[in-house]
Amino acid sequence: MIDPLYAMSGFAVGVLVGMTGVGGGSLMTPLLILAFGVHPATAVGTDLLYAAATKTVGSMVHGFAHSIEWRVVRRLATGSLPATAATLVVLSYLNQSEAARSLITVVLCVALLLTAGALTFRNAIVETFRSRFPAFASRDTAIDTVIVGAILGVLVTASSIGAGALGVVALVILYPQLPMARIVGSDIAHAVPLTLAAGAGHWIIGTVDWHIMGSLLAGSVPGIVLGSYAAIRVPERALRLVLAATLILVAGKLASDHIAVGSQLITAFTHRAPN
């Protein structure tokens, strides 16, 4: 059975993804947590497999268009997959405890703010790196790409966020000679094994809700199609700024809720403690 509320949420997020190219995990995971009360670990795990399905379609499109730099994808995966495995071990040890909720919420807030910054200041960030490190683009960037992959592996596995906007910014800095189409294609292609491995790991440790994922996919597929069509009619810069502002507000809401829950736990523990 398709849940209409989840399907409508998937449709809304799909429209934004189709229009901006980013925002899937950045919006879907917080939406599941804040609007539907899903445990953060389950929200992340479900969104990862949802992202793996949608990214696979995008990767196939870029593959047919020959806009994927497989050398870059291999380097990113060399760092991201081991980091994903290590992060899953930590999450499995914490299970769905309050410690897991706290860890995921903190990483989620950080990833949201980083993504908002990347959306807003992408050009400025790229220009700053290139002006301060003129030799950065000419030297061998294999090790740097592996390190970026490892960072993305941790962020994506713990929050389902980072494979889009952050990955593109990093690749633009590391590979200025590549056309933007190949950078985007390579980033999407790398996101497939990353989200699939992370999502499968969450499935193994029991933090995936298949019913929610099916409902989200039912709404997001037509949403992405509609958003992609509307993208040529709406200024991209304005969309990115609106999306960045939304992510900052969501991060603030998550952080305030987390602090409120923590205060309640401390108060309850203090009242129960013997005099």
Q: What is the DSSP string of 12-40?
A: HHHHHHHHHS--HHHHHHHHHHHTT---H
Domain positions in the chain are 4-272
In this prediction, residue 233 carries a pLDDT of 63
**Six-digit token pair at 75?**
């380097």
In this prediction, residue 145 carries a pLDDT of 92
Using alpha carbons, list the distances in angstroms from residue 67 to 23, 64, 72, 179, 188: 21, 8, 12, 9, 10
Find the range with the poorest average confidence among 153-162, 191-200, 257-266: 257-266
In degrees and rounded to multiples of 5, residue 127 shows phi and psi of -65, -40
Give exposure, 214-252, as e/b (b: 16+ Cβ within 10 Å). Answer: bbbbbbbbebbeebeeeeeeeeeeebbeebbebbbebbe
In this prediction, residue 91 carries a pLDDT of 87
**For residue range 31-67, what is the model confidence (pLDDT) as tens digits?**
888 888 888 888 899 988 888 887 787 778 777 878 8
Angle, in degrees to the nearest 10, between helices 142-159 and 40-64: 130
- What band does 142 get if pLDDT is binned at 50, 70 and 90? confident
**Six-digit token pair at 226?**
């509609």
pLDDT at 254 over 90: no
In this prediction, residue 34 carries a pLDDT of 84
**Cα(108)–Cα(114) distance, integer angstroms:** 10
**Full-prediction pTM beyond 0.85?**
no
**Cα(243)–Cα(188) distance, integer angstroms:** 19
∠ Cα 16 217 122 (to 5°): 30
Q: Mean pLDDT, to the nearest integer, of 152-157? A: 91
DSSP 275: -
**Cα(61)–Cα(158) distance, integer angstroms:** 28
**Whole-number mean pLDDT of the chain?**
80
Using an 8 Å Cβ cutoff, are 162 and 155 in contact? Answer: yes
**Six-digit token pair at 119?**
């959306």
Using alpha carbons, list the distances in angstroms from residue 221 to 11, 51, 55, 197: 7, 11, 11, 22
**Six-digit token pair at 34?**
């804040």
Phi-psi region of 21 (alpha: psi -120 to 50; beta: other; left: phi over 0): left
**Six-digit token pair at 56?**
């696979």
